[in-house]
Amino acid sequence: MKVAKFGGSSVASSEQIKKVGSIIADDPERKFVVVSAPGKRFSDDSKVTDLLIELAELTAQNKNSDYKLTEIMKRFSEIVEELQISQTVLNEIEQSIQTILNSEWSEQMKTDALKSIGEDSSAKIVSEYLNTLGLNAQYVNPKEAGIIVSNEPGNAQVLQESYEQLYNMRKMDGVCVIPGFFGYTNDGELMTFPRGGSDITGSIVAAGVQAALYENFTDVDSVYVVDPRVIENPEEVTKLTYKEMRELSYSGFGVFHDEALMPAFRAEIPVCIKNTNNPAKPGTMIVSEKDPETRCVVGIAADTGFSNLYVSKYLMNREIGFGRKLLQILEDESISFEHAPSGIDNMSVIIRDDQLTAEKELNVINRINSELNPDTISIDYGFAMVMVVGEGMMSAVGIAEKSTAAFAEANISIEMINQGSSEVSVMFGIRKDKLDLAVKSLYNKFFS
Ligand code: ASP
Domain for residue 132, yes or no?
yes
pLDDT band at 105 (very low <50, low <70, confident <90, very high): very high
Nearest CA to ligand 1 atom 2: 196
Domain for residue 112, yes or no?
yes
Whole-number Cα distances in Å, 201 to 1, 16, 145, 262? 16, 21, 11, 11
Domain for residue 228, yes or no?
yes
Strand ranges, E, within 313-364: 346-352
Domain for residue 28, yes or no?
yes
**What distance in angstroms lies between residue 98's CA and the mean position of ligand 1's atoms?**
21
Q: Which atom of ligand 1 is nearest to the CA of 119?
A: 1
Q: What are 228-286's pLDDT values in tens digits?
A: 888 999 999 999 999 898 888 877 777 888 889 999 999 999 999 999 999 999 999 99
Single out the residue in 264, 287, 310 at which a domain terminates.
287
**What distance in angstroms lies between residue 192's CA and the mean position of ligand 1's atoms?**
10
Task: Check residue 295 and give its pLDDT.
Answer: 79
Domain for residue 293, yes or no?
no
Contact 6, 12 (CB under 8 A): no
Q: What are 18-76's pLDDT values in tens digits?
A: 999 999 999 999 999 999 999 999 999 999 999 999 999 999 999 999 999 999 999 99
Helix, strand or coil for residue 414? coil
Residues 342 and 307 reside in one and the same domain = yes
The dihedrals phi and psi of 223, each to the nearest 5 degrees, come to -80, 140
Q: What are 289-348's pLDDT values in tens digits?
A: 887 767 789 999 999 999 999 999 999 999 999 999 999 999 999 999 999 999 999 999
Residue 130 Rama label (left phi>0; alpha psi -120 to 50; beta): alpha
In this structure, the number of other CB atoms found within 10 A of the CB of residue 263 comes to 23
Residues 104 and 200 reside in one and the same domain = yes
Residues 365 and 405 reside in one and the same domain = yes
Decide: 115 in ligand 1 pocket, CB within 6 A. no
Decide: 36 in ligand 1 pocket, CB within 6 A. yes
Interstrand relation of 346-352 and 299-312 (parallel, antiparallel or unpaired): antiparallel
pLDDT band at 96 (very low <50, low <70, confident <90, very high): very high
Residues 51 and 139 reside in one and the same domain = yes
Nearest CA to ligand 1 atom 3: 196
Whole-number Cα distances in Å, 386 to 100, 282, 380, 417? 42, 28, 17, 10
Decide: 49 in ligand 1 pocket, CB within 6 A. yes
Range of the domain at 341: 299-446
**What distance in angstroms lies between residue 272's CA and the mean position of ligand 1's atoms?**
19
**DSSP secondary structure, 243-280, as one string:** HHHHHHHHTT-TTS-TTSHHHHHHTT--EEEEETT-TT
Contact 115, 192 (CB under 8 A): yes
Residues 160 and 67 reside in one and the same domain = yes
Contact 376, 382 (CB under 8 A): no
Residues 220 and 109 reside in one and the same domain = yes
Decide: 38 in ligand 1 pocket, CB within 6 A. no
Single out the residue in 241, 258, 287 at which a domain terminates.
287
Single out the residue in 261, 287, 313 at which a domain terminates.
287
Strand ranges, E, within 174-263: 175-179, 182-184, 190-192, 213-218, 223-224, 236-237, 239-241
Domain for residue 292, yes or no?
no
Q: How many helices (H) and strands (E) does the chain have?
A: 14, 17
**What distance in angstroms lies between residue 155's CA and the mean position of ligand 1's atoms?**
12
Query: How many domains in the chain?
Result: 2
| pTM given for the model | 0.87
